[in-house]
Amino acid sequence: MIFSSVSAEKNSCEKIYQKCFNNIPKDIIIYYKHMDTYGAVNTDNINFRDIPLITSKNSLTIKKIKKNEKIHIKKVFFLKPNTNISLKLANTNNFEIVNNYKFSKWYLVSYDGVEGFIFSDFVSLDKKQKKQYLRYRHINSVDWTVNKVDQQKNIELLLTPKKNNSFELRGFSWHHLYGYDEINYIFKKDISSQNKFTNEGIKLFFFDKNEIYLESEAEIFTGIYKKY
């Protein structure tokens, strides 16, 4: 791992590379998923990076984080390991060759009011938390942690109870051809009050707590989901 001895301002991926997602060049992403959990740094003085590219001069250390510091983990990304990848630079015909070697799994975290990336080996997840949401995965999703062959399509829903007996539906999709999409709706009824919910542009049907069907104007989200 390359360590920097100074702190730095965050680089913007969009100003450096042609295609980016969550401040990561798209061409190096294999798979990602939302987490919304907490953890702690398990090694002293680890690098808190703006872009998770260990061999690139465009990846800066925002700051060092000490052991046992608490972090909010928002997403996990699996990046292409042990591979030379050509990344097209923004506003030019030039490319940068990067290789992340074994450093393929990264957490997007919030620490001290700043978002950045920490390599997964340096993070211990807090397993004592009680989930405050229901998570569903589209039956046509490809889970890279299980299937490393098929091209990636991942579609997930989070159902989160809110005040006044309402709930929020958030949908996230990542497609190897079409990139990232997201939907967000509030339903003003308790999630357990009925098995059918409608809102402008969307319909949600509960077969039971473990399986649901969604119709959405954003077609990639339409289909059957199973709880996990």
Lowest mean pLDDT segment, chosen from 42-46, 60-64, 195-199: 195-199
Computed over every residue of the chain, the mean pLDDT equals: 86
Fold for domain 13-125? Answer: SH3 type barrels. (2.30.30)
Average pLDDT of span 140-164 = 76
Give the pLDDT score at 169: 92
Q: What is the pLDDT of residues 201-225, one digit of tens each?
A: 899 999 888 899 999 999 999 999 9
Q: What is the pLDDT of residues 73-99, one digit of tens each?
A: 999 999 988 889 999 999 999 999 999
Q: How many residues are listed for the chain in this entry?
A: 228
The CATH number of the structural domain formed by 134-227 is 2.40.128
Give the pLDDT score at 161: 84
Residue spans of the domains in the chain: they are 13-125, 134-227
Q: Is the pLDDT of residue 101 over 80?
A: yes
Confidence at 150, pLDDT banded by 50, 70, 90: low
- Does residue 12 contact residue 33 with C-beta atoms inside 8 Å? no
Give the pLDDT score at 188: 83
Q: Is the pLDDT of residue 35 over 80?
A: yes
Alpha carbon 207 to chain centroid distance?
28
Q: Torsion angle of alpha carbons 13, 16, 17, 18, nearest 10°? A: 110
Q: Is the pLDDT of residue 149 over 60?
A: no
Strands (E), 128-199: 134-138, 153-161, 167-175, 179-187, 196-199
Confidence at 1, pLDDT banded by 50, 70, 90: very low
Give the pLDDT score at 204: 93
Top mean-pLDDT range of 98-112, 149-163, 166-180: 98-112
Give the pLDDT score at 130: 53
Kindly state the DSSP code that residue 54 receives in the 8-state scheme: T
